Amino acid sequence: MGNRVGIIGVGQTHHAAKRLDASGVELIAEAVTRALDDAELTIDDIDAIVVGNMDHFENINYVDTWAVDGLGAFMKPVFKVTTGGTTGTTVGACGYYQAASGLFDIVLAVGWEKNSESDTQAAIATCANPILERDSFAGAIGPLATEYSMYMKAFGATEEDAAIVAARDRNNALNNPYAHSRQQVTVEDVMKSPMLSYPIKFLDMCPRSDGACAVIFANEKAARKLCPEPAWVHASVVRHDYTHFGDLEWKFMPTLERASAAAYKLAGITKPLEEFDVAELYLPASTCGVKWMDSLWFCEHGEAPDLIRKGTFEMDGQLPINPSGGVISTNPIGATALIRVAEGAWQIMGKSGDRQVEGASLALCTGFGGCSWSDVMILGADLP
């Protein structure tokens, strides 16, 4: 791993189905001002800015130049990155690399989305190849549903396993004041909810939200000076292999396996299930929370249902996953992956309030999107 960088401040908006009270730029400003507060800095302290979202949701071109006011980017270096669902972690990685480069000491990374402004699935459907794949490609839900059908057939996982994950994430959200959807649910509630796309049911699936998240990265020298307990970046790995959906191996997630293996190696982790204290994972549907556990090297292929049924990933389990409520509770797509990094950072910094995992000092954060792409970021309380 290259030069050392720590996260020194985080800000989030209150996420909702519709933030009538704020335009996109105002939503961004809300997250940015809260992050500056958290880090006890002013906008003058920020040396460079990066922003990300998925264009088609708001139909605004050149968002980096459009949102200058809300970003605090007036007369500052700024650009935009975007990679679909993984945008948030792409933004986070960008914040890390910019601070690590030595060209800029303190970097503001912002992810945001106003999903209420458009038809989410229609916009997502345009990511598939327009000539060959778009027509049968049912947004985000279709492929996720299809891959779980393969996993159930191959390994005997059930719809109920997914329902356990859904209930876990949704109930966790009750401790998170920023979460969009905060409702108490039982496994039975999930099983009875309307079928969206077999086998994914309504309560299995993430909402779409309006929200923004801002994370402040600082290189080692600046971080030590400005923050008592930065969340140090131990690894950032991205695997966006594959252009065509049909090329993927669907019984497990090849990109997540490769990305997490590489990240664990960089961070010196050999037993992820034992060594991590908390995980904030990008699980857009509860089915992913079953199937993808294999691909994170928590167990062998097909053994995830066992871990789920034993309660391994509950708040009082061996490795709490998504104390924030996860993506199933909050999903402003351009921000969603960055929120995983933000929540992971707050856990390390001890600022997670009612959802704090005691003594958390190593956090796993992931991003997902596109053609089954995977981003992994590992944060720790100790210097890497």
Partner 1 sequence: MRYMERVAIIGVGQTKYESGKRDNFAEMVFEVTNKAMEDAGITKNEIDNVVSVSSDFWDGRTISCMAISDASAAYGKDITTVEGDGTFGAIYGLMRNLSGNYGTTLVVAHHKGTESNMNGITNTAFDPLVERKLGLDAVSSGALQARRYMSAYGLLEEQFALVSVKNHGNAKRNPLAMLPMDITVEDVMGSRMVADPLKVLDCSPLTDGACAIILASETPAHKLTTRDKRVWVKGVGHCSDAFRMGDRDLADTRALKDAADRAYTMAGIIDPAKEIDVAEVYDAFTYMEPLWLEGLGICDDGMGCEYLERGLFDFEGDLPINPSGGRLSANPVQVAGLACMAECVLQLRGEAGDHQVEGADTALAHGINGMCGQSHCVWVLGR
Partner 2 sequence: MGMYTDKRKRTHTPEGYELLTHSSGDIQYDFGWHCGPYWSKFLGEMRDNKRFMAVKCPECGTVYVPPRQCCGKCFVDMNEWVEVGPEGSLEGFTVVRFPYIDPNNGQMKKVPYTAIWVTLDGSDTRYLHFCNEPDEMKLDVGMRLRAVWAEKRIGTVHDVEYFEVMK
Residue 225 in tokens: 């000076």
**Smallest separation (angstroms) from partner 1 to the CB of 283:** 19
Closest distance between partner 1 and the C-beta of residue 330, in Å?
21
Q: Residue for token digits 């007369």?
A: 75
Distances (CA, A) of 151 to 145, 157, 162, 188: 10, 7, 12, 22
Nearer to partner 2, 5 or 125 (CB): 125
Partner from partner 1, partner 2, none binding residue 197, C-beta < 5-8 Å depending on class: partner 2
Q: Strand, coil or helix: what is 46?
A: coil
* 61 interacts with partner 1 by CB under 8 A: yes
d(CA 143, CA 148): 9
Nearer to partner 1, 262 or 273 (CB): 262
Q: Which stretch binds partner 1 (CB under 8 A): 92-100, 171-179, 269-277, 343-351?
A: 92-100
Q: Tokens standing for 156?
A: 């005997």
**What are 264's two structure tokens?**
């664990």
Contact 181, 299 (CB under 8 A): no
From the CB of 243, what's the least distance to partner 1, in Å? Answer: 4
20 is a contact residue toward partner 1 (CB under 8 A): no
Nearer to partner 1, 151 or 373 (CB): 373
Longest Cα–Cα distance of the chain, Å, equals 57
φ and ψ of 57, to 5 deg: -75, -35
Site membership for partner 1, residue 103 (CB under 8 A): yes
| Interaction mask 256-295, partner 1, x per CB under 8 A | --x-------------------------------------
d(CA 16, CA 196): 21
Identify the CA nearest to 14 among candidates 248, 120, 171, 173: 173
DSSP secondary structure string, 276-294? -SEEE---SBTTHHHHHHH
**What is the closest distance, in whole angstroms, from the C-beta atom of residue 90 to partner 1 in the complex?**
5
Q: 105 by DSSP, 3-state: which?
A: coil
Residue 140 vs residues 128, 196, 294: alpha-carbon distances, Å: 10, 12, 21
Total residues belonging to the chain = 384
CA dihedral 196, 333, 151, 263 (to 10 degrees): -170
Q: Where are the beta strands (DSSP E) in 151-295?
A: 195-197, 200-201, 210-219, 231-239, 278-280
Please report whether residue 60 would count as binding partner 1 according to CB under 8 A. Answer: yes
Report the interface residues with partner 2, using CB under 8 A. 14, 16, 19-22, 34, 59, 119-123, 125-126, 128-139, 141-142, 145-147, 149-150, 153-154, 177, 195-200, 241-248, 250, 351, 353
Q: Is 211 in the site for partner 1 (CB under 8 A)?
A: no
Residue 102 binds which entry of partner 1, partner 2, none, with Cβ cut-offs from 5 to 8 Å by kind?
partner 1
Task: Say which entry of partner 1, partner 2, none residue 135 contacts (CB below 5 to 8 A, set by partner kind).
Answer: partner 2
Write the interaction track for partner 1 spanning residues 159-178; mark x where CB under 8 A is met and - where it is not.
--------------------
Answer for which of 37, 40, 119, 126 binds partner 1 (CB under 8 A) is: 126
Task: Between 52 and 211, name the residue whose CB sits nearer to partner 1.
Answer: 52
| Residues near partner 1, by CB under 8 A | 1-3, 47, 54-56, 59-69, 73-84, 90, 93-94, 96-98, 100-104, 123-124, 126-130, 236-244, 258, 369-371
